[in-house]
Structure 1
Amino acid sequence: MSGSSFLGKISGFLACLPKKISRKSFFEIGHKQDQDFVFGIIGTKSLPSFSQLKYIGKFYSEKEMFITKAAIFLALISSVALSIMLYKNYVIIQPSTGGEYAEAVIGAPTYINPLFAQTNDIDQDISRLIFSSLMKINEQGHVVGDLAETWKIDEAQTTYTFTLKTNTKWHDKENLTADDVIFTVQSIQDQNFKSPLYITFRNVQVRKIDERTVSFTLPEPFAPFLSVLTFGILPEHLWQEINPSHAILAELNLKPIGSGPYKFASFTKDKKGNIKQYELKRFDDYYGQGPYIKTILIKFFASFSEAQNALAEGNVDGLGFLPQNASEQSASLSGQKSLTEHKLSLPQYTALFFNQASNASLKEIQVRQALALATSRQKIIDTAFEGVAEPVETPILPGMIGYSDELQTVLYDPAKAEEILDKAGWERVYESSIVDDAPEESQVQAEQKQETTKGSVNLGLEKESKDLYKRVKKDIPLELTLTTIQKDDMIQAAETIRDLWQEIGVTVNLKIVEIGKVQKDVIKPRAYEVLLFGQILGRDPDPYPFWHSSQANDPGLNLSLYANKQVDRLLEDARKTSDLTERQKKYIEFQQQIIQDIPALFLYSLQYTYLVPNDIKGIETIRINHTSDRFSNIENWYIKTKKRIRF
């Protein structure tokens, strides 16, 4: 019994031996049932399920399991890398329509009409968004076509012919044609319309050639003409029934209809009737690319501090202007909110303009030379603007036609200034020897001096006493009145200039004038001896309005009342040629004469700074000619994005 049983077990073992060998004999006998299960599955399915893969360890060795896991890990890494590569190379992130941007500006709107907007920065800002023009300023500060698709200039350089783009529409869906351009120019030329652009276009002939073509004929060549065609075009079908004498009262000035990237939606007033906000909506039929941001809100504030508070409280997204001396506030705001500070080059300089007709001492070239040598531009910039400004020494700025860094300019040298005045006969009289024997002032004189700060007063700033002296020539003191506007940075600059000049014996009295009165009470009557003031040069660096003798009186901008026949000829010839090389040459000659005559001292140029949230992309503007030019590529700004596969 026992023998037959033993033989049966042996024959059974031999019968199972092939299966054991095929199951890799180094596996434990206890795993036999699991192996039978797995092999049974393989016989019925091509691939095991996820739940079945958990048994793989039952028949893989430790080495095989390590290799398998490593292979799976490498496969995952390769898949991720391949996915990233495919995403970068074939998936494009594009701007998408949507989002809202609210900007705070200082001031209030009056006429949202491009023919009246020149006198108000807020009006120009909104007009820039709503209206289109024949030409426009791009983000590089160059003049390019807007409504104009092509243009050509005849050989005489007096006739300009423009062809308009197709499919241009007004916000009320009407077509824009050459008739609208003709109507706009003729409205400017109508004195009853009272447009500030009248003087520029009064002698220009405009003619319609066909529905898309219009020509302008000038009485003589004028090289910067393309840059003056950046004013917005009005819709004839809406304005033709309005009496030109009453145009300034038209409702369209507050509820404008244009052809630009944004259209008027609404405005909001407070209880006193003051407009507090303009809401603009994307114009879906705009002829150009974009715009992408769906809604733009322009909110108006009386002061920078109010606008700053609105930004801090989240009532606005950005600031349309950031003062030069507000760097600390900017850093604080940028730390609290996700903001980007954009600094734009502006064709502006601040200078000291000498009115030689108001003070005989200024007629002496030696006096003007000494004042130039005693003026430290860097000290003025450091004191008034915390170093955030660019020194300027000539009337044409970097990047403009005519600029040259090879011109010989005057360097700060107070010792040389003292030497020049000594040789010119201006004697030094030290304070200890000065006897005050002046007659008593009349009541009128006393009232006039209420607005004037004498040179020995520091406007609240204490200055260490020094062995100062005054200068006298034939019993006439070397004394000047320096006038500027009531603005903190301008007052600080004026104080610094006063202190610098007093160190060479020039007595300087400061006269501070309210900003709202400076045009009427000071500039128009040319009522100043030395004027510290800023000038914006415009879209073309044409110095004619600022330095030609014909512009010496109001409304001309020749604030030094400068008259030089050679300079007049250079400026007249330069604006008549479109040859850039020739204009460059004449402008350099003009500047050489200005440096020699010293009718003014050019001090510094400020950048235009504004804050926008980080989530607004597409802002590429680097150079502007007016503050409204910060919107030069507004149609490319975007907040929302979308993804597209590139094949």
Structure 2
Amino acid sequence: MTVRLSLPKDSFAPFLEFTTVGIIPSHILGTVGARDLPAHRFNIQPVGTGPYKLKELTPDRITLEANTSHTPSPWLSRIIFRIYPNYKTILTALERDEVGGDPLVEPGDVVRLQRRKDVTIYDAPENTVTMLFMNTANPVLSDRLVRQAITSAIDRGRVIEIARNGHARRADGPILPSSWAYDPNVKRLEYNLARARALLDEAGWTADPAGGPGRQKEGNPLRLVVLTNDRPERLAVAGEVQRQLVAIGIDVEVQATGAGGLVQDFLLPRKFEIAVYSWDFNGFDPDPYSLWHSTQVAPAGLNISGFSNRKADEALERGRRSLDRMERLKAYAEFQAIFAEEVPALPLYLPTYEYAISTKIRGVRTGIVANPPDRFRNVTDWFAKTRREIATRRS
């Protein structure tokens, strides 16, 4: 069967990825409209072609059993997901050998679990970047020199140590280092306190004439608020950013809110100055249009920094319009250079996804984790027991 799709305007390079979904059963969903899908019973009674099928769903557990029609057939005949009220109860269950794994280990618990002989810690790179988003509509942060000073004042390695116990990779730009579109040759601002102070001087923010630790401009003190959610990791990031910016004379206040409230009440309506926030890059096309093109500045858009730059817009448009990878590469290299100069946000780090599995389970392999279920990518190779027998080819 051939399916032909016609686009009303120019080519759109990410189109094929956006229209690619897994196989779904037509006898169940063939007549269901898109609006009805989220509430459809298929979500709790799924039918698919994967290595496992749903056996039972209760408030405290999900039981999967092997799909004997799948090739290759999985070694584990059954997998049970137990549902716990919070992270601490999951960790306790793991340490008591009541469960075979913990789907997400907090950085502060990694070292302790690594000392245990009955648990293996697996880590995988995430397609997530934690950034400092700077609101360019703010009178202070609208000045590129101030944004460059903030960027030069932040020691990202130290932030990673404080917030993640070193379990992260440094981020350098708006495109993931794992992407074919990432340009390692772009000249980026590095940690340099002397340059940070000089940039603030150039922007007119001079030392307090009264001899205080802060800076002022036309009698106004240099003060900024760093907003984050109340997760311990984010609070640690905000606290370390505060400490480092104070060193160049910026008076910083940290404010925390609930995770849901951060987005709806502050980021989308642009009611913030600097925000610690993580962005998930789902999929593998590098197109960053939705985060940085000026058409996305409106409150409904995702350009929460309010970044607006004509040359950046043109580069982003060329990057998503062309189907030629070399042309896209050139366009995205140009965009990354502009981003490094304008710094509407400071990418801090890419966290590693750490999960714990009992040493009774073997055959686990890691890979890029765009979403938590990705850790099961090779689940058909997992096994729990071994015995000597004559080798036969698995179907």
TM-score between both structures, scaled by the size of structure 1: 0.57
Other structure's SS at 2:354 match: strand
Other structure's SS at 1:301 match: coil
Partner of 1:500: 244
Q: Supply the distance in 2 between the matched residues of 1:426 and 1:501 (Cα, whole angstroms).
A: 14
Q: 1:344 Cα deviation (Å)?
A: 0.8
CA contact (8 A) 1:468 1:502 kept: no
Q: Supply the distance in 2 between the matched residues of 1:267 and 1:645 (Cα, whole angstroms).
A: 35
What does the per-residue CA deviation read over 1:449-492, in whole Å, with 9 as the maximum and x for residues that have no partner?
Answer: xxxxxxxxxxxxxxxxxx85111111222111110110111111
Partner of 1:20: none
Match of 1:262 among 52, 64, 74: 52
Q: 1:246 Cα deviation (Å)?
A: 5.3
Match of 2:22 among 216, 222, 232: 232
Match of 1:319 among 102, 109, 119: 102
CA contact (8 A) 1:227 1:539 kept: yes
Q: Give the alignment's Cα RMSD to 1 decimal.
A: 2.2
Summarize the Cα distance change of 1:506–1:518 in structure 2 as closer, same or farther, 3 Å threshold. Answer: same
Q: Supply the distance in 1 between the matched residues of 2:67 and 2:5 (Cα, whole angstroms).
A: 30
Summarize the Cα distance change of 1:306–1:531 in structure 2 as closer, same or farther, 3 Å threshold. Answer: same
CA contact (8 A) 2:188 2:341 kept: no
Q: 1:364 Cα deviation (Å)?
A: 1.4
Q: Supply the distance in 2 between the matched residues of 1:224 and 1:632 (Cα, whole angstroms).
A: 23
Q: Does 1:276 align with 2:60?
A: yes
Other structure's SS at 2:62 match: strand
Q: Supply the distance in 1 between the matched residues of 2:105 and 2:308 (Cα, whole angstroms).
A: 37
Summarize the Cα distance change of 1:244–1:544 in structure 2 as closer, same or farther, 3 Å threshold. Answer: closer
Q: 1:302 Cα deviation (Å)?
A: 2.2
Other structure's SS at 1:602 match: strand
CA contact (8 A) 1:468 1:503 kept: no
Match of 2:177 among 398, 405, 412: 398
Summarize the Cα distance change of 1:226–1:634 in structure 2 as closer, same or farther, 3 Å threshold. Answer: farther
Other structure's SS at 2:141 match: helix
Summarize the Cα distance change of 1:245–1:568 in structure 2 as closer, same or farther, 3 Å threshold. Answer: closer
Amino acid at match of 2:99: V
Q: Supply the distance in 2 between the matched residues of 1:422 and 1:474 (Cα, whole angstroms).
A: 13
Partner of 1:551: 296
Q: Does 1:292 align with 2:82?
A: no
CA contact (8 A) 2:110 2:121 kept: no
Amino acid at match of 1:309: T
Amino acid at match of 1:283: N
Partner of 1:591: 336
Partner of 1:331: 114
Other structure's SS at 2:178 match: coil
Q: Supply the distance in 2 between the matched residues of 1:596 and 1:242 (Cα, whole angstroms).
A: 48
| Counterpart mapping for 1:298-377 below 5 A | 298-332=81-115, 334-335=116-117, 337=118, 339-357=119-137, 359-377=138-156
Q: Supply the distance in 2 between the matched residues of 1:504 and 1:580 (Cα, whole angstroms).
A: 42
Match of 1:481 among 225, 231, 251: 225
Higher deviation after alignment, 232-241 or 539-548: 232-241
Q: Supply the distance in 1 between the matched residues of 2:320 and 2:79 (Cα, whole angstroms).
A: 39
Partner of 2:258: 514
Partner of 1:575: 320
Amino acid at match of 2:57: F
Partner of 1:448: none
CA contact (8 A) 1:560 1:600 kept: yes
CA contact (8 A) 2:114 2:120 kept: no
Higher relative contact order (CA 8 A, sep 6+): 2
Higher deviation after alignment, 476-485 or 630-639: 630-639
Amino acid at match of 2:380: E
Q: 1:427 Cα deviation (Å)?
A: 2.4
Q: 1:548 Cα deviation (Å)?
A: 1.2
Summarize the Cα distance change of 1:526–1:327 in structure 2 as closer, same or farther, 3 Å threshold. Answer: same
Amino acid at match of 2:298: N
| Counterpart mapping for 1:434-473 below 5 A | 469-473=213-217
Amino acid at match of 1:392: A
Q: Supply the distance in 1 between the matched residues of 2:187 and 2:383 (Cα, whole angstroms).
A: 46
Q: Supply the distance in 2 between the matched residues of 1:246 and 1:372 (Cα, whole angstroms).
A: 45
Partner of 1:425: 204
Amino acid at match of 1:568: D
Amino acid at match of 1:362: L
Q: Does 1:539 align with 2:261?
A: no
Summarize the Cα distance change of 1:624–1:472 in structure 2 as closer, same or farther, 3 Å threshold. Answer: same
Q: Does 1:251 align with 2:53?
A: no
Summarize the Cα distance change of 1:636–1:576 in structure 2 as closer, same or farther, 3 Å threshold. Answer: farther
In our comparison, the structure showing a higher alpha carbon Rg is 1
Q: Supply the distance in 1 between the matched residues of 2:380 and 2:267 (Cα, whole angstroms).
A: 39
Summarize the Cα distance change of 1:240–1:407 in structure 2 as closer, same or farther, 3 Å threshold. Answer: closer
Q: 1:546 Cα deviation (Å)?
A: 1.3
Q: 1:516 Cα deviation (Å)?
A: 2.6
Q: Supply the distance in 1 between the matched residues of 2:77 and 2:359 (Cα, whole angstroms).
A: 17
Q: 1:229 Cα deviation (Å)?
A: 4.4
Q: 1:309 Cα deviation (Å)?
A: 0.9
Summarize the Cα distance change of 1:365–1:249 in structure 2 as closer, same or farther, 3 Å threshold. Answer: closer
Amino acid at match of 1:610: Y
Q: 1:396 Cα deviation (Å)?
A: 1.6
Q: 1:252 Cα deviation (Å)?
A: 2.8
Q: 1:625 Cα deviation (Å)?
A: 2.1
Summarize the Cα distance change of 1:362–1:645 in structure 2 as closer, same or farther, 3 Å threshold. Answer: closer
Other structure's SS at 1:643 match: coil
Q: 1:310 Cα deviation (Å)?
A: 1.1
Match of 2:191 among 391, 406, 412: 412
Question: Which structure 1 segments of 5+ residues have no match?
Answer: 1-208, 269-274, 434-466
Q: Supply the distance in 1 between the matched residues of 2:45 and 2:392 (Cα, whole angstroms).
A: 42
Other structure's SS at 2:275 match: strand
CA contact (8 A) 1:290 1:636 kept: no
TM-score between both structures, scaled by the size of structure 2: 0.91
Q: 1:248 Cα deviation (Å)?
A: 4.0
Amino acid at match of 1:367: V
What does the per-residue CA deviation read over 1:123-159, in whole Å, with 9 as the maximum and x for residues that have no partner?
Answer: xxxxxxxxxxxxxxxxxxxxxxxxxxxxxxxxxxxxx
Q: 1:608 Cα deviation (Å)?
A: 0.8
Amino acid at match of 1:411: E
What does the per-residue CA deviation read over 1:562-598, in whole Å, with 9 as the maximum and x for residues that have no partner?
Answer: 1112111211221233332222221111100001111
**Structure with the higher helix share, 1 or 2:** 1
| Counterpart mapping for 1:90-169 below 5 A | none
Q: Supply the distance in 1 between the matched residues of 2:311 and 2:33 (Cα, whole angstroms).
A: 46
Q: How many residues align?
A: 389
CA contact (8 A) 2:225 2:254 kept: yes
Q: Supply the distance in 2 between the matched residues of 1:299 and 1:527 (Cα, whole angstroms).
A: 39
CA contact (8 A) 1:389 1:605 kept: yes
CA contact (8 A) 1:401 1:580 kept: no
Other structure's SS at 2:321 match: coil
Partner of 1:144: none
Q: Supply the distance in 1 between the matched residues of 2:289 and 2:197 (Cα, whole angstroms).
A: 34
Q: 1:343 Cα deviation (Å)?
A: 0.9
Summarize the Cα distance change of 1:597–1:244 in structure 2 as closer, same or farther, 3 Å threshold. Answer: closer
Q: Does 1:619 align with 2:364?
A: yes
Amino acid at match of 2:316: L
